[in-house]
Amino acid sequence: MKKNIYFLLVISLALLISCAKNDINQSGLLVPKTVAEDNTLPVFELSDKTKIHLETFGTNTGENVIIVLHGGPGNDYRQYLNLTDLQDDYFIVLWDQRGTGLSERVDEQEISLEQYLADLNEIAVHFSPNHPITLIGHSWGGGYATYYTQQFPAKVKKLVLVEPLPLNKNALDNMEFPKIIITSEEMSRFLGTADFILPDTHATADYMMIVSGIINDDGDYFSSDEKDKVPYYRYGYAAYKAISTDLGLMDNTADYDFVAGLKETFKTKVLILGGTHSSRLGYDFQKKYHENLFFDCQTEKIENAGHYMIVFNAPTILPIIRNYLNN
């Protein structure tokens, strides 16, 4: 009798496991496929054969290229599709940075600030070989854009920074970091999931990246309704970790400076946008810690806007960007 019970238990367990046809580590099930796995997605191949998820909008005249740099690190370009409204006058390049979004997943060791600089330079030269480009960078992308401008000032025509992350150590030291609230339900839910999902593959790590909400903070939003409405394709844990480590953000050793020497080498007016409801990187922060870092800077206050103003306040900010670009 006992043997029969054990036998039934083992058979039931085996049947249950055999019902699981889905591999939690496989792209396309728990998280979307990347360009390396889905050949219907728009793709750009870098010189080292790494495949980048990239889309262009508008007509390239050779002098009107705008490259958009998304936030994160480890986010993607889906939330910037409103910028394609500029395509009547400009050629817009939206792309997911190496190792994130729907770009091919690569080892963490293949991602670094220097590599990101080379990637952006390659894309810039490809689409605008003879003329400087315009960069629009949001959050981490604002830092990325400023870093590129610092390294290649002659290759940048105009620079738009939408609530860029702290551009140097002084700004970083004065930024209010997101609070970890131990009593929050989100924390308990995240810890519960982290108890059985191991982020040892890109698929599970990217899934956990969204569950954890490590990129987002409640204070980033104008209203709580906005929080679930920021669109995304897929986050990239390896990119987040590699770039955050390079910046010194993982171990609090950050001493980067994306603006050193920029006042002397880049004298074009820079446009910074800051929202009134963005607690960390909003207008007040940008005005106080970033405006004076540039030779010429126009800092615009966007009323009733949070960190994701490109998604939720496009009708307000697009005319400001267009006006800046046209002048």
> For the window 192-211, what string marks contact with other proteins as x by the rule CB under 8 A?
xxxxxxxxx---xx-xx-xx
Among 214, 254, 297, 311, binds other proteins (CB under 8 A): 214
Cβ of residue 241: shortest distance to other proteins, in angstroms? 7
106-143 as b/e, with b when 16 or more CB fall inside 10 Å?
Answer: bebeebebebbbebbeebbeebbeeebbbbbbbbbbbb
Distance CA 29, CA 27 (A): 6
Q: Is the dihedral of CA 277, 278, 284, 286 positive or negative?
A: negative
Amino acid at 245: T
Q: Does 24 bind other proteins (CB under 8 A)?
A: yes
Angle at 160 between CA 268 and CA 54, to 5 degrees: 125
Tell me the three state secondary structure of residue 70. coil
Give 327: exposed, middle or buried? Use CB within 10 Å, 0-12, 13-18, 19+. Answer: exposed
Is 187 near other proteins (CB under 8 A)?
Answer: yes
The answer to the question of residue 225 lying near other proteins (CB under 8 A) is no
Nearest to 139 by CA among 34, 265, 255, 230: 230
The residue count for binding other proteins (CB under 8 A) is: 52
Nearer to other proteins, 28 or 319 (CB): 28
191 is a site residue for other proteins (CB under 8 A): yes
> How far is the C-alpha of 137 from the C-alpha of 146, rounded, in Å?
8
Rank residues 20 and 154 by Cβ distance to other proteins and give the closer one. 20
Beta carbon of residue 24, minimum distance to other proteins (angstroms, whole number): 4
Q: Which stretch binds other proteins (CB under 8 A): 20-28, 61-69, 166-174, 285-293?
A: 20-28
Residues 57-86 within binding reach of other proteins (CB under 8 A): 78
Does 250 participate in binding other proteins (rule CB under 8 A)? yes
Binding residues (CB under 8 A) for other proteins: these are 16-17, 19-25, 28-32, 78, 180, 182-200, 204-205, 207-208, 210-214, 228, 231-234, 237, 241, 250
